[in-house]
């Protein structure tokens, strides 16, 4: 059976001394194995704990963010039907088929990734590694966003979190225009997975890079979130909570605008404040 984003469970609720048994919806968390294939050669690159749904986007976004593929490399993405995958695991295994040639040389990915829903494991584990494959975003771009637009982003994102509304247990990432229009929203038990799904959707639609857009994430902004946004060319990243120190370092070095504590008509600007004007 194909897993869905929610799972039904029986719970015992205790409230003000009153006990009630009932069914409730939980956010589903299951592993997703990501494989790449070129010709007859194939390899597992990652096993990530995720909320089922938009799995092809997740695979494409993860591989793009780690520098494994470009949009032109992808021939097809499908659930795996290899003989070594049991039927019950086929909706938890995705194969990204590449166009021709051998498998890419992946010295930085010589191990299998094992990423949790709480914190992904980056293939590029430091700013030094990022410098080798990512360029700073244009310092002189004309993107300007008003504080009033930023104030509205958390509410607009929350309005579209359908699975969160049923479970209370998912993070979200939303892609917005400078005018505050929501382009895409994705949910997952992991913030980094939600961002991968957004980037993967843009890759599959031929919309990368995402210059002139805003990324809004629930929770905090981490190095991983900033790395994925940088790879996708997103110049502005907003979060409702605090950034990590390495997230701030990355944003400052690569010319990204990083907004934290965006809630109740206030926020902090940690880098490239010139993009936010009254």
Q: Is 122 a catalytic residue?
A: no
What are the respective helix, strand and coil percentages of the chain, to the nearest 5? 30, 35, 35
Find the catalytic residue in 119, 122, 134, 238: 119
Asked if residues 78 and 52 have their Cβ atoms less than 8 Å apart, the reply is no
CA dihedral 143, 148, 153, 155 (to 10 degrees): -170
| Cβ contact 68:109 at 8 Å | yes
Contact 216/191 with Cβ under 8 angstroms? no
Q: Mention every residue, 6+ apart, whose C-beta is less than 8 A from residue 200.
A: 54, 56, 57, 58, 59, 60, 61, 62, 64
* Dist CA 108 CA 102 (whole Å): 17
Peptide bond into 254 cis (omega under 30): no
Known catalytic residues are: 119
């Amino acid at each position: 059976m194909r897993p869905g984003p929610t799972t039904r469970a029986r719970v015992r609720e205790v409230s003000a001394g009153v006990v009630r048994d009932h069914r409730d919806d939980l956010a589903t968390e299951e592993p997703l194995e990501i494989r790449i294939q070129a010709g007859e050669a194939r390899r597992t690159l990652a096993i990530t704990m995720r909320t089922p749904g938009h799995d092809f986007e997740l695979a494409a976004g993860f591989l793009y963010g780690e520098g494994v593929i470009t949009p032109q490399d992808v021939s097809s993405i499908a659930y795996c039907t290899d003989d070594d995958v049991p039927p019950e695991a086929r909706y938890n295994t995705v194969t990204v088929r590449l166009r021709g040639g051998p498998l890419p040389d992946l010295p930085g990915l010589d191990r299998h990734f094992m990423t949790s829903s709480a914190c992904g494991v980056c293939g590029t584990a430091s700013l030094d590694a990022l410098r080798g494959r990512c360029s700073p975003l244009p310092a002189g771009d004309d993107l300007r966003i008003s504080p009033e637009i930023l104030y509205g982003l958390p509410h607009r994102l929350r309005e579209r979190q359908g699975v969160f509304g049923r479970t209370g247990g998912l993070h979200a990432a939303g892609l917005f225009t400078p005018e505050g229009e929501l382009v895409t929203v994705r949910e997952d038990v992991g913030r980094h997975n939600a961002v991968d799904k957004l980037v993967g959707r843009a890759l599959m639609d031929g919309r990368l890079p995402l210059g002139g857009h805003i990324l809004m994430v629930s929770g905090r902004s981490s190095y991983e979130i900033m790395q994925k946004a940088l790879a996708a060319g997103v110049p502005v990243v907003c979060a409702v909570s605090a950034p990590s120190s390495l997230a701030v370092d990355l944003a400052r070095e690569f010319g990204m605008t990083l907004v934290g504590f965006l809630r109740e008509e206030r926020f902090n600007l940690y880098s490239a404040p010139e993009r936010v004007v009254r």
